[in-house]
Amino acid sequence: MEIKASDVKALRERTGAGMMDCKKALTESNGNFEAAEKLLREWGMAGVEKRAGRATNEGRIFVAQNESELSLVELACETDFVARNKDFIDAGTKIAATALGQKASSQNESLESMVKDIASLIKENIALKRVAYFNAGMNEHLHSYLHGEGRIGVVVKFRASDPNAFKNEKVASFVHDVALHVAAFNPMFLDESKVPASWLAEQKDIFQKQVELDEKMKSKPAKVIEGILAGKVKKLLSEVCLMNQGFVRDEKVSVADALAQISKETGFSLAIVDYYFAKVGQN
């Protein structure tokens, strides 16, 4: 008998099994829903929805990219064993490629359908926890880096005075090093201009209270205390701002200074436009 697509979809929603498995079960049961659901249980295909409440703290980050666009997705699962499973990795790779083709910046029905298919195959709770889309404008370049079997994913966006800059070996190496730096230090902000005034005011207030509670500070002149507070703020910004941080290849040199140096050496004017940091299990 002919199996309608609407019936396959209904059985899928009812059991959480894959589309092909639902169609096969309906075919073998002559369209009888109860019999088809029983078959799926016998085959071990049903139960994806029942597994949905189980924690997904493991997983992997995947990236797909073309010349000017990049998609990053996080596919989560219950165990690190599954995160290393070939079927899981293949599915994540396909989901990232599909997200790139769609220019998707969030979960959607087609991506979720792919997730349910792999969950039915592996029989573990699997979820799509992150979908991010990036595009590069004129004279811009996107570079990604995955660390620790995909547990950390980084995207950096650069701009240059000449698009050929990114073909330069020194520039390409520096771009990659910046991605490594972001993976290692996870800065909160790109530079001081990106620090919210309210956040900075809150930190200054905390420092002020720390000084007020320090008995040793009570006898200090006001100008000395102002200098101490300014020093604390400067140190904080060097810790949370990418451009102010000590560069991963030489922590005595800031990222901003390392950028200026590579620009001088290569003759290309370079700028870090933005960055993105993702870690499995973290928002």
| Helices (H), ranges, 44-168 | 48-51, 80-83, 86-102, 109-122
Helix (H, G, I), strand (E, B) or coil at 275: strand
**What is the average per-residue pLDDT within 197-219?**
85
pLDDT for 24: 86
Query: What whole-number distance in Å separates Cα of residue 70 and Cα of residue 157?
Result: 11
**Using an 8 Å Cβ cutoff, are 244 and 192 in contact?**
yes
Model confidence at 56, pLDDT cuts 50, 70, 90, reads low
**What is the average per-residue pLDDT within 199-215?**
85
Minimum mean pLDDT range among 125-129, 158-162, 210-214: 210-214
pLDDT in tens, 236-255: 999 999 999 999 999 999 99
Mean pLDDT highest for which of 22-36, 118-132, 170-184, 198-212?
170-184
Helix (H, G, I), strand (E, B) or coil at 70: strand
Query: Is 55 a residue whose pLDDT tops 80?
Result: no
Model confidence at 54, pLDDT cuts 50, 70, 90, reads low
Helix (H, G, I), strand (E, B) or coil at 220: coil
Amino acid sitting at position 69: E
pLDDT in tens, 12-33: 777 767 777 788 888 988 888 8
Query: Is 10 a residue whose pLDDT tops 90?
Result: no
- The mean predicted confidence, pLDDT, of the chain is 89
Query: Is 44 a residue whose pLDDT tops 70?
Result: no
pLDDT for 43: 65
Query: Is 167 a residue whose pLDDT tops 90?
Result: yes
pLDDT for 3: 86
**What is the average per-residue pLDDT within 102-127?**
90
Q: Which helix (H) or strand (E) holds 57?
A: none
Residue 258 phi, psi (nearest 5): -65, -40
Q: Which of 141, 182, 160, 167 is nearest to 263 (CA)?
A: 160
pLDDT in tens, 106-117: 989 999 999 988
Q: Which residue has the higher pLDDT, 223 or 88?
A: 88
Model confidence at 71, pLDDT cuts 50, 70, 90, reads very high
Minimum mean pLDDT range among 37-41, 105-109, 273-277: 37-41
* CA–centroid distance for 185 within its chain: 15
**Using an 8 Å Cβ cutoff, are 120 and 44 in contact?**
no
Model confidence at 235, pLDDT cuts 50, 70, 90, reads very high
| DSSP letters spanning 151-183 | TEEEEEEEEESSGGGGGSHHHHHHHHHHHHHHH
Could you tell me which residues come within 8 angstroms of residue 2 by beta carbon, excluding any fewer than 6 positions away? none
**Using an 8 Å Cβ cutoff, are 15 and 40 in contact?**
yes
Could you tell me which residues come within 8 angstroms of residue 209 by beta carbon, excluding any fewer than 6 positions away? none
Query: What whole-number distance in Å separates Cα of residue 254 and Cα of residue 275?
Result: 16
**Using an 8 Å Cβ cutoff, are 111 and 101 in contact?**
no
Task: Enumerate domains of the chain plus CATH numbers.
Answer: 5-46 (1.10.8.10), 52-135 (3.30.479.20)
pLDDT for 169: 96
Query: What whole-number distance in Å separates Cα of residue 113 and Cα of residue 94?
Result: 12
Rg over alpha carbons for the chain, rounded to the nearest Å, is 26
